Structure 1
Amino acid sequence: MPDLLADLDGAQRWLDVSLEQWSGEAGVQQGRVILSEDDLGKLRDLRADLNTLVRHSDQGQGGPLFPSASVAARVAADGEVVLEPRGGGSRRVGSIVLIETFTAQRLDTWRRLKVCGNDRCGVSFYDRSRNNSGVWHDARVCGNAINLRASRARRRQVGAASHVLSADEPSATS
């Protein structure tokens, strides 16, 4: 899987699409966030921290901090408190992630954030399955690889067991 934060152009394309999608789903309009080369390392660190938080959230351990995230609380006309991201570049992305983390935990959708069961992958994903039973970020890629390895291991065991049985049986010529 390609690293979407590997270079500035790719990261900017990913962020533009992601912000547009998030704005539509959250009903919160966001202006374009412009990234710089300095933001790339901070975004990779944020991704690693978020992955750690998702991986260990059910183990009662404290998680990473979002030290560069700044959030403002505004009281809307209807009296509801609305959290708004602040800053630019990676700081703004960190603010949005912080708001969404808070919201997901409050709405009990946080439990749907998981880390892919394929140890070679480790991608965090949102489990959209009806019963929250998803294991892989992409069943066709990671699930298929795991299932194929398990199937081959079972066949090797069956083959080894049948080889042992045939070696223990008396030969037809004795």
Structure 2
Amino acid sequence: MRALNEYIARAANKEDDCTGHFWEGRFKSQALLDESALAACMAYVDLNPVRAKIAKTPEASDHASIKYRINAARLGKTPKRLMPFAGNPRQEMPHGLPFTLPDYLQLVDITSRYIHPNKRGKVQHNLPSILERLNIEQEHWLTLTTQFETCFKHAAGKVTHLEQYAHNQHQQRVQGRQSAMRLLG
């Protein structure tokens, strides 16, 4: 992300004849170190238009990956420009996201109903199967999908993955340890 940000910043600064950071402090790049961080970030991004009241439902969110996935699924296809779903995490994992499309759609739908209590229809309080597989509690999931950027700074994942990331990045401190322990177990 740093290399991409630098390239875009240089091009934009040259075009606008100015200097400085292109993204400033508004946009962040975070490493997603495991399946729970990946699922939380995907849902967070897919629900941004709903939280911003730009769309009433996730499937009505223009320019969100969930809409592309749903439209392709209706035609019995997988979107070519998005990573496909490959099923449950396991050894010898095929190339793709480590859960199924139906589980992800159910997860996003249930999460969106909890975010907007005024929305018609109530969802029962049983956890969707993906949360059980990822061992994330319902309250923690809601925190992750509504406050993802404030929970993690440069990387997101379970404590062991954050520790490995810090070691690989030659960082003396593990950032996000408290959020990881509290939210991801």
TM-score (normalizing by structure 1): 0.24
Q: Which of the two has higher C-alpha Rg? A: 1
Q: Structure with the greater relative contact order (CA < 8 A, sep ≥ 6): 1 or 2?
A: 2
TM-score (norm 2): 0.23
Structure with the higher fraction of residues in strand conformation: 1
